[in-house]
Amino acid sequence: MPRASLWRRLGAMLYDTMMVLAIVITTAIIVVRFTATTPSGFWWQSLLFCEWFAFFLYFWCNGGKTIGMMAWRLKVQSDDGAPLSPTQATTRFAAGLLSAACLGLGYLWALVDPLNRTWSDMLSGSHIIVEPKQT
């Protein structure tokens, strides 16, 4: 199966960003409703980070597709074709943070890599494929 282009990946990332934002807003509404305080500080940031991490870990380890990846017909899998392990998913998540922290250089790497791999792909021993259209 063909590997995913950077543009297709960015489309999926945009969809997933909207999903994570919806989760954050829902969490904020629940916290404000039950505590009557504005969420802030270390505990709030930690909660949101854990939700963000759990979102990707769950989808990558259970089917290999986030909601955005489903919309763009993408799937993440180990280099040997197996589903991602929790260790691989955690490494992929951390490498994604590193890629973003380097002003997106880790994602732009796909433009120069012959296999369209990003830093996340290389460090976690995984890759993203484009699934065929269902008829």
Parallel/antiparallel/unpaired status of strands 126-130 and 74-78: antiparallel
Closest-CA residue to 16 (of 85, 86, 84, 74):
74
107-114 contacts, C-beta under 8 A, 24 or more apart? 107/6, 107/9, 107/10, 108/6, 110/5, 110/6, 110/9, 111/6
pLDDT (tens digit per residue) in 104-116? 999 999 999 998 8
The whole-angstrom separation of Cα 56 and Cα 94 is: 11
pLDDT of 50 above 70: yes
What's the whole-number mean pLDDT along residues 24-53? 93
Computed over every residue of the chain, the mean pLDDT equals 94
Predicted pLDDT at 135: 76
Bridge partners of 74, per DSSP, are 130
Which pTM value belongs to this model? 0.90
Q: Is the pLDDT of residue 1 over 70?
A: no
Token representation of residue 113: 């890599």
| 15: pLDDT strictly greater than 70 | yes
* pLDDT for residue 134: 83
Percent of the chain residues past pLDDT 90, beyond the cut: 84
